[in-house]
Chain A
Amino acid sequence: MASLLVLRPGLLSTVQDLGRWGWQAFGVSASGPMDSRAHRLANALVGNPPEAATLEITLVGPELAFDDERVVAICGADFVVTVGDHLASHAASFRVPAGGHLRFGRRGRGTRAYLAVEGGLAVASVLGSRSTHVPSGMGGHAGRPLTTDDRVPLGPKHPQRSAGRRAPTVEMPDGRARLRVLPIENTSHFPTEALAQLQSEPYTLRPESNRMGYRLVGPVVASETTGTLLSQPSPIGSIQVPPDGQPILLMADRQTTGGYPVLGTVISADLGLAGQLGPGDTVSFTVCTRQEALAALIAQERLLMAPR
């Protein structure tokens, strides 16, 4: 079976598909790509279905050697990428020759890039998904980020292939992002001013922010909860407020349940943008309505489905 050989792994490179859904009742985290827009676009550019596994690349990219010729595409964070001596295009499909080296260099906007390879990354499926969940050591390549000398198996090549396709542009943060939030209704855990506090000033992502969640520093959000609550299910994008009033934005690798009260949840259309934030970036929150959330998601879906 053809494979990718890891010459340098980068900072945190993990195999991700659309996530491990249907097992959260058993404590299995959903995981999946932090920016599913970029994951899907990269797959579409090389002719893969949206659920094919890509490589999620974080802050510092890898160097990879290809066994056979493949059409590939990189979407999301904007890295300088070379194939041998040639500069590769961002958000476009291109060919890597047999024996070719794909090298990630300097990074521009965004935190996470997605490398889709024609045929997909063919690691074993665990509980219906190829996504890596590092905290529980589940899925992906041996349940962990890639390391030097790993060989990642590739799926079969497509009979009809084309390089040179381009993806539409999706919004990327430039060190800051604005995220829309649907607040939780009728909560007894927060005073009325909590939502105004959340929206008053931007928050900064602390250094320990990661795929599980972003720890934020900024205006204190008052809560009326003393002690810990009975754990409740925690969706992606939910904003938990611990007793110190500094919110935590839960992301792809979050635990299935949490014990802090939830003030609101980032809308689906803004989760990809949220997934492009990294430590030191800033984020501001604005409350919106369910209608606005759905309209934004439909608009984004049209963009992602646009013919190429």
Chain B
Amino acid sequence: MREFSITTLGDAGWLLEFADRLDAAINARVVWVADDVRRAEYPGVRDVVPAFHSLAVYFDPLRTDADRLRAALEASAAASRDAPISSATPREVPVRYGGEHGPDLDWMISSTGVSRDEIIAMHAAPIYRVYMIGFTPGFAYLGTVDSRIAVPRHATPRVRVPAGSVGIAGQQTGIYPSETPGGWRVIGRTPFRPFQPLRPDPFLLKPGDTVRFAPMDEESYRRQTNTSAEARERRDGSRDGSPGGPG
């Protein structure tokens, strides 16, 4: 069986797919190919979009030799076999677990039978990989969550999940970059904002990066939200993640 396939995404895109599973080695190949294709700067390429086990290259069909691009993508996919899984130092993300910041933590204790302290320890222990960013700007899908706390989503999503909320959905965990609707089980909140629209480099996490969560107490949470996130939000006028400031 082939290791990968390339299929048509209309006349303006190619889709590269590796084996259909959540796997760090496969995802590392996706990230490697995305970087390789970007670096090559093929004329007419409009966007390169890596996901869990697949990658799209979108191009302008009037400016691009689609067959040549496909061949280049195929060569890159074949060359990605030895892509390093990750070398970067994990980014430490502080989290205030439970209470008003983690409204689903009590439910998790009763549904999993795991104690509060153990849930926090299990969530904060692994070095997670950023498999993909999607859903809303800067929302990183992190894996893999300990199977003992891999709880399913809410049947009906919440209408509003505050920015900075840290949630679990099956074996994935993630940080809500802005206030949005959301169905993940929210167990805590962080002052860290993965999307800071006014920075020249506005996204602080990218596919292939690693993250480790660190429990923090209420006092440091308040201090850090006062000095960083809320101040930033006031300055940007972007409480909802909108970069549109005044005027």
Q: Which residues of A contact B (CB under 8 A)?
A: 21-28, 30, 124, 126-127, 135-144, 182-187, 229-233, 235, 237-238, 255-257, 262, 264-268, 290, 293-294, 297-298, 301
Contact = CB atoms under 8 A, between A and B. Distances in A.
Interface of B: 5, 7-13, 15, 17, 20-22, 34, 46-56, 58, 61-62, 66, 132-139, 141, 178, 195, 197, 202-203, 206-207, 240-245
B8 A290 contact: yes
Nearest to A288: B11
Contacts of B132: 231, 257
Contacts of B17: 232
Nearest to A123: B244
A269 to B, nearest CB: 8
Contacts of B52: 230-232
Contacts of A238: 9-10
A139 B54 contact: no
Contacts of B48: 25
B10 A268 contact: yes
B9 A301 contact: no
A264 B8 CA distance: 8
Contacts of A136: 136-137, 178, 241-242
Contacts of A185: 7-8
Contact of A137 (B51, B56, B240): B240
A230 B56 contact: no
B61 A268 contact: yes
Given A143-B244, A233-B54, A138 B10 contact: no
Nearest to B22: A230
A282 B109 CA distance: 50
15 contacts: A24-B49, A26-B203, A26-B206, A124-B245, A127-B243, A136-B137, A141-B244, A142-B242, A184-B8, A184-B9, A230-B52, A233-B56, A293-B11, A293-B61, A301-B62
A233 B10 CA distance: 13
A143 to B, nearest CB: 4
A267 B53 contact: no
Nearest to B243: A126
A90 to B, nearest CB: 27
A230 B51 contact: yes
B61 A297 contact: yes
Given A26-B203, A230-B20, A233-B56, A139 B10 contact: no
Given A24-B49, A232-B51, A265-B8, A137 B244 contact: yes
A55 B205 CA distance: 33
A188 B207 CA distance: 27
Nearest to B9: A235
B34 to A, nearest CB: 7
Given A126-B197, A232-B15, A265 B10 contact: yes
Which 7 pairs, one residue from A and one from B, show the smallest C-beta to C-beta distance? A265-B10, A137-B242, A233-B56, A143-B242, A293-B11, A257-B134, A143-B244
Nearest to B240: A137
Nearest to B56: A233
Contact of A256 (B8, B22, B49): B49
Given A136-B178, A301-B62, 20 more contacts: A21-B47, A22-B47, A24-B47, A24-B58, A25-B133, A25-B206, A26-B203, A124-B245, A127-B197, A127-B202, A137-B244, A138-B241, A139-B243, A143-B242, A229-B20, A235-B12, A237-B10, A238-B9, A257-B134, A268-B11
A178 to B, nearest CB: 16
Contacts of B197: 126-127
Nearest to A262: B9
A303 to B, nearest CB: 13
A126 B244 contact: yes
Contact of B12 (A230, A232, A268): A268
